[in-house]
């Protein structure tokens, strides 16, 4: 049975209060990134800021990139990983959890696409010299994360949502789907951390910060953000901790997976 397949991987989720704490950490992470973007990096804009006839500033256009990625990974994808295990509305049925899971992932993918457009557009429109694309460790980690995200999204949509594989095929794919989801989430957080550190390096160099200047908010706030990214990853992953013997530890239907359908198909 699909229920037994679920119990092989997951036991009961953590207490509801722990799930609320996780959501708080997710929101704080996004808020800190928003403060960093708006207060220290100059905010956002839909077009470059002209300085003179030959020079512009695309920084505010680029700033959509970290903000949208913050919405995509710590918040939306993190919530998607929680939506089966510990949804905020505990009385949701399995089909409702599946739709919520799919919707959150879809919104995350949209945010990622918009974030990438912001980054590449800001680089291309930079004057007098465009900024190179895809040269840094952050870029290469980003490529790997996008491959994982694409594989996870299309596999999940095809296997579990529409047109939907057979029941036996879905049960076989459950552990791979779960692994890809977690791997994409963690890779996204890691890529964000590297990107934030890269941006801090640019800011320190541009402003000529040294000595006491390295303790300014433009540097210390990103350091706090990176700590909260780690906390977000740890707390979300704790919800997916599989006990050695779920059935013996009181596993319940709150641990249902994508194969657990209301119908028998």
| Cα–Cα distance, 226 to 211 (Å, whole number) | 22
Per-residue model confidence as pLDDT tens digits over 98-135? 899 999 999 999 999 999 999 999 999 999 999 999 99
* Assigned fold of 2-255: 1.20.120
| Cα–Cα distance, 58 to 48 (Å, whole number) | 5
Whether the CB-CB separation of 188 and 149 falls below 8 Å is answered with yes
| Cα–Cα distance, 63 to 159 (Å, whole number) | 35
More confident of the two residues 216 and 115? 115
Instruction: Tell me what the mean pLDDT of segment 232-253 comes to.
Output: 64
Evaluated on CA atoms 134, 139, 145, 146, the torsion sign reads negative
Whether 257 has a pLDDT exceeding 60, the answer reads no
For the chain, the straight-line distance linking the first and the last C-alpha, in angstroms and rounded, comes to 11
b/e for 179-209, b at 16 or more Cβ within 10 A?
ebbbbbbbbbbbbbbbbbeebbeebbeeeeb
Predicted confidence at residue 7, as pLDDT, reads 42
Question: Alpha carbon of 178 to those of 109, 113, 121, 181: distances in Å?
Answer: 17, 23, 33, 5
If you search the block for the tokens 């929101």, which residue do you land on? 27
List residues bridging with 49 in a β-sheet.
57
Share of the chain above pLDDT 90, in %: 63
Per-residue model confidence as pLDDT tens digits over 63-85? 999 999 999 999 999 999 999 88
Domain residue limits, the chain: 2-255
If you search the block for the tokens 């706090």, which residue do you land on? 224
Whether the CB-CB separation of 50 and 61 falls below 8 Å is answered with no
User: What are the counts of helices (DSSP H) followed by strands (DSSP E) for the chain?
Assistant: 9, 2
């Amino acid at each position: 049975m699909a229920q037994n397949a679920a119990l092989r991987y997951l036991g009961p989720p953590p207490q509801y209060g722990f799930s609320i704490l996780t959501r708080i950490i997710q929101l704080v992470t996004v808020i800190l990134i928003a403060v960093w973007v708006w207060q220290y990096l100059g905010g956002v804009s839909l077009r470059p800021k002209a300085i003179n006839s030959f020079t512009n500033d695309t920084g505010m256009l680029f700033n959509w990139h970290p903000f949208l990625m913050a919405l995509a990974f710590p918040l939306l994808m993190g919530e998607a990983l929680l939506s089966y295990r510990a949804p905020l509305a505990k009385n949701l049925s399995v089909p409702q959890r599946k739709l919520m899971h799919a919707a959150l992932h879809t919104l995350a993918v949209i945010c990622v696409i918009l974030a990438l457009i912001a980054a590449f557009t800001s680089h291309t429109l930079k004057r007098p010299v465009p900024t190179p694309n895809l040269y840094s460790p952050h870029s290469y980690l980003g490529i790997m994360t996008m491959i994982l995200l694409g594989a996870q999204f299309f596999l999940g949509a095809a296997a579990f949502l529409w047109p939907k594989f057979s029941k036996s095929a879905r049960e076989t794919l459950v552990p791979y789907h779960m692994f890809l989801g977690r791997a994409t989430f963690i890779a996204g957080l890691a890529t964000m951390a590297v990107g934030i550190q890269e941006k801090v390096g640019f800011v320190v160099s541009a402003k000529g910060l040294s000595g006491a200047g390295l303790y300014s908010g433009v540097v210390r706030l990103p350091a706090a953000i990176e700590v909260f990214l780690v906390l977000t990853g740890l707390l979300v992953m704790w919800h997916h901790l599989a006990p050695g013997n779920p059935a013996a530890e009181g596993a319940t239907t709150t641990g249902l997976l994508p194969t657990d359908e209301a119908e028998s198909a």
